[in-house]
Structure 1
Amino acid sequence: MTKLEIHGAAPFDQEGDLASLRGDCARMVPHWAAPERTASRPVPPSLIHGVSVPAASARLLDSMSEYGD
């Protein structure tokens, strides 16, 4: 059996701005492994079914005027 370590969630900043969002992303970079670059091919529209966004992310982006109102 694998022992999973659970860390507390990062504090959510409802009043954050684009700079703090970019800072959060920069701190996460070491945790992400990028695959080797490959040539992308077009995806037929029939295979695209939509995008789901977590509610917390949608609220954060909705409250940021840099993304438009």
Structure 2
Amino acid sequence: MTNLKDPAPGPADDEGGLDSLRGDCARMAPHWAAPEPAPSRPASPPLPHGVSVPPASARLLDALPDYGG
């Protein structure tokens, strides 16, 4: 049976814990500056290519009032 009163042994914490890690990160943050964002240009939409519709499908869609007929 498991003893729930005593916490399970975990990995050894030789570095000082979460507070120490946060402090290390705060000290290192100025050394890792983000690059300036590059200006973005709008992309032109791709033109459709390689699309073929069988004649029977085209006739079916042409006969539907919502799509053209």
Structure with greater contact order relative to length (CA < 8 Å, sep ≥ 6) = 1
Higher alpha-carbon Rg? 2
- Greater helix share, structure number: 1
TM-score above 0.5: no
Q: What TM-score do you get using the length of structure 2 for normalisation?
A: 0.30
